């Protein structure tokens, strides 16, 4: 003879709690959607006019030393002490074949000799990318003070990064 299962008060309490929790969570994780389709656009910092103004790059040249090493020099309309990075690439998106950081003095810079991983860079078409973020991690405090964290700078190449930080970025392409 089979014995009938009995449900006790404890079983009823557990069942009630499970049902209550289920009902309490109904709708959990669902989001009400607006009654109409809407598109929102990310508001970016206003960069209108940043590229307007006198050219920042007054001159830029890549030249060879007698041993074939490449050097870079230029005149920039930046305060003395501004740090600038120059990356040398064979084409857009290609890895850098050489890179240096220079400091502007008397509105000019001249890099140390640059060579590739296996010696002097071959004569070829190169893309020279000049960049200078105006952040405390990159620029000395004096430069940031003179430029209001880069916000006072205007001219071709001035832009803002994704966080709104003033940044200089300009490309020169030439055969060297």
Residue-averaged pLDDT of the chain: 84
d(CA 174, CA 128): 8
Place of tokens 């209108």: 48
Does residue 66 register a pLDDT over 80?
Answer: yes
- The pair of structure tokens assigned to 85 is 């990075």
d(CA 158, CA 164): 12
Does residue 141 register a pLDDT over 70?
Answer: yes
pTM of the predicted model as reported, rounded to 2 decimal places: 0.71
- What domains lie within the chain, and their CATH numbers? 57-175 (2.60.40)
pLDDT at 91: 85
> pLDDT higher for 7 or 131?
131
Q: Which run of H or E residues covers position 169?
A: strand 166-175
Does residue 146 register a pLDDT over 80?
Answer: yes
Let me know the angle formed at the C-alpha of 124 by 77 and 174, rounded to the nearest 5 degrees: 30
Give the pLDDT confidence of 19-56 residue by residue, as tens digits: 555 555 555 554 454 555 656 555 555 556 888 899 99
């Amino acid at each position: 003879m089979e014995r009938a299962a009995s449900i006790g008060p404890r079983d009823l309490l557990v069942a009630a709690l499970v049902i209550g929790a289920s009902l309490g969570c109904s709708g959990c994780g669902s989001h009400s959607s607006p009654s109409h389709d809407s598109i929102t656009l990310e508001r970016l910092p206003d960069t209108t006019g940043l590229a307007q103004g006198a050219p920042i790059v007054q001159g830029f040249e890549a030249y060879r030393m007698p041993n074939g090493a490449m050097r870079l020099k230029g005149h920039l309309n930046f305060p003395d002490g501004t740090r600038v990075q120059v990356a040398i690439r064979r084409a857009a998106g290609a890895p850098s074949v050489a890179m240096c950081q220079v400091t502007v003095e008397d509105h000019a810079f001249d890099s140390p000799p640059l060579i590739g991983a296996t010696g002097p860079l071959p004569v070829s078409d190169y893309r020279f990318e000049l960049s200078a973020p105006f952040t405390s991690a990159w620029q000395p405090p004096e430069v940031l003070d003179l430029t209001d964290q880069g916000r006072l700078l205007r001219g071709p190449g001035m832009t803002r990064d994704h966080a709104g930080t003033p940044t200089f970025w300009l490309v020169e392409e030439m055969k060297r």
